């Protein structure tokens, strides 16, 4: 039984791999992320591999935002600076609010792993329709930095002084 009303006991996640080239057989970051999320006690409600296409990314995101079982969406891939990298352009218009601090903290942590090459990532986070959305790099290292060093802590209801879980009931208040 949850200590605070309306805070789910288990969080539901959807994981999207954004790629024109990865398949279920060749995707490494999506399966790794799903395993890490479940190892931390959360549920994977759905997952998909979506092409580097703004309309396709947004269509899948909207379906997941509308699913009350999904509290958070994490996409991996498409956050770089090449021509086909369009994940930030796809997700930012969906945000009701952007979580600017996510990118700041992610880059601080990523700098420890890859140095100034972190500037090539456009990782971002926000809230859409009461659902958290985080777009993280498609590299396994970038994905691990995002989950292990940032998101797993914020999605841990015991993390203090505060965490994203305790805010879920208030995300759609006006």
Q: Which domains does the chain have, with CATH numbers?
A: 12-169 (3.40.980.10)
Q: Give residue-wise pLDDT tens across range 24-75.
A: 888 999 999 999 999 999 999 999 999 999 999 999 999 999 999 999 999 9
For residues 93-103, average pLDDT: 97
pLDDT of 152 above 60 = yes
CA trace torsion 107, 100, 71, 63 (10° rounding):
-100
**Per-residue CA distances from 88 to 37, 42, 59 (Å):** 22, 25, 14
Q: What is the rounded distance in angstroms from the CA atom of residue 58 to the CA atom of residue 164?
A: 23
Q: Distance between CA 149 and CA 95 in Å, rounded?
A: 23
pLDDT at position 174 = 86
Distance CA 34, CA 20 (A): 20
Strand partners, 14: 46, 73
pLDDT at 76 over 70: yes
CA 55, 56, 60, 63 torsion: positive or negative? positive
Q: Report pTM.
A: 0.95
Mean pLDDT rounded to a whole number for the chain: 94
Residue 84 is classified by DSSP as: T
Cβ pair 55, 167 in contact under 8 A: no
In this prediction, residue 7 has a pLDDT band, given cuts at 50, 70 and 90, of confident
Q: From edge to edge, which strands make up the β-sheet containing 12-18? A: 43-50, 12-18, 72-76, 131-136, 124-128, 97-98
């Amino acid at each position: 039984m949850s200590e605070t009303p309306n805070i789910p006991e288990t969080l539901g996640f959807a994981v999207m791999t954004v790629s024109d080239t990865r398949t279920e057989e060749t995707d490494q970051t999506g399966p790794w992320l799903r395993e890490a999320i479940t190892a931390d006690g959360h549920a994977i409600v759905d997952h998909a591999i979506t092409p580097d296409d703004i309309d396709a990314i947004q269509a899948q995101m909207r379906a997941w935002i509308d699913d009350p079982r999904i509290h958070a969406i994490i996409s991996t891939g498409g956050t770089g600076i090449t021509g086909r990298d369009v994940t930030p352009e796809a997700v930012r218009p969906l945000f009701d609010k952007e979580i600017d601090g996510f990118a700041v903290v992610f880059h601080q942590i990523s700098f420890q792993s890859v140095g100034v090459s972190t500037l090539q990532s456009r990782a971002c986070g926000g809230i859409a329709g009461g659902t958290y959305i985080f777009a993280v790099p498609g590299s396994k290292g970038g994905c691990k930095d995002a989950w292990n060093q940032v998101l797993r802590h914020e999605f841990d209801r015991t993390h203090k002084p505060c965490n994203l879980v305790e805010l879920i009931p208030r995300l759609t208040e006006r």
